[in-house]
Every structure is written in structure tokens, then in C-alpha cells.
């Protein structure tokens, strides 16, 4: 484990108010110290699914090669992306339809593309909250 994180990197995070609840996710460029991509808000989603989709969105960025790695604070999302497998017990409804479609699209994308960047666990205990965090802890 590295003592310092790589500043030429991206990080991702999701926020969910309720579980399932209103969820959103984003990609943060650590070198520029700014959010570079953000999803819309979705009802009836879970944080774990948002963390997974945030990683997939980061992997799809056209300029990904300029970064050394991607960080996530979700070991579950990292494992899902690396194994290219995800299961959810979220039931189909008009509120979950879009999410379930995005999950299927992400699975297809992962199976048809190579992972050409290192994905690492953000060490919150050492570095503090991940820079992509929504700061909604109460």
C-alpha cells in the first residue's frame, strides 16, 4: 500500500439518500481538483450500483490514457468491474427501469473492452474522504 495517492488520477463516488433512494454519481480529476463528469439524479437506486456505474463511466472516458489510475472507495464496485460481473436484487419497476438498463449496458461494455488502467482502492483511513465525495455525511 502506498503512503501517498497518485495525483495524476481520477476518482469516483456515488451518493444515495436512502437505500434504495435518490442516487447520483460522479468522476473527479484529482490533478485538476474538479468534477469532470456527473450523472443525473435517479430515484430508487442503491449506492453500490452507483459506485459500479461511476467506475464504468470513468473507464469510458475518451481521454483516459492521460491518467495513471482510477480510485474508488468501494471494494465491491472495484471487484464487480474487475470480474465484469454484477448481480442486483433490485426489482423491475418504472422507477428502476433506467438503472437496470444502465447496468446491462455497463456489463456489455465491460465484456467487450479491455481494462487498460489500474483501478485502486482509495485508502480513506490514510488520505481522508475521496475527493469525489458528496460530503453528505450526517
Q: Tell me the per-residue pLDDT of 23-33, one tens digit each, with 9 for 90 and over.
A: 999 999 999 99
Give the other-Cβ count within 10 Å of 46's Cβ.
20
Residue 21 lies in a domain: yes
Residue 135 lies in a domain: no
Kindly report, residue by residue over 52-91, the tens digit of the pLDDT. Answer: 999 999 999 999 999 999 999 999 999 999 999 988 887 8
The pLDDT assigned to 138 comes to 46
Half-sphere exposure (Cβ direction) of 74: Cα atoms closer than 13 Å: 25
Residue 2 lies in a domain: no
Three-class SS state of 45: strand
Total number of domains in the chain: 1
Residue 134 lies in a domain: no
What CATH number corresponds to the domain at position 45?
3.30.420.10
- Domain with 100, as residue range(s), is 9-127
Amino acid at each position: 500500500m502506498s503512503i501517498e495517492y497518485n495525483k495524476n488520477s481520477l476518482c469516483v463516488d456515488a451518493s444515495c439518500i436512502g437505500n434504495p433512494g435518490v442516487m447520483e454519481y460522479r468522476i473527479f480529476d484529482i490533478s485538476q481538483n474538479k468534477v469532470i463528469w456527473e450523472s443525473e439524479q435517479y430515484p430508487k437506486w442503491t449506492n453500490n450500483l452507483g459506485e459500479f456505474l461511476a467506475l464504468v463511466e470513468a473507464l469510458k472516458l475518451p481521454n483516459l490514457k492521460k491518467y495513471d489510475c482510477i480510485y474508488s472507495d468501494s471494494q465491491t464496485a472495484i471487484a464487480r468491474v474487475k470480474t465484469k460481473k454484477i448481480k442486483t436484487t433490485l426489482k423491475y419497476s418504472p422507477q428502476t427501469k433506467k438503472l437496470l438498463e444502465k447496468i446491462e449496458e455497463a456489463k456489455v461494455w465491460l465484456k467487450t473492452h479491455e481494462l487498460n488502467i489500474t483501478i485502486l482502492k482509495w485508502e480513506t483511513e490514510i488520505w481522508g474522504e475521496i475527493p469525489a465525495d458528496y460530503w453528505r455525511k450526517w
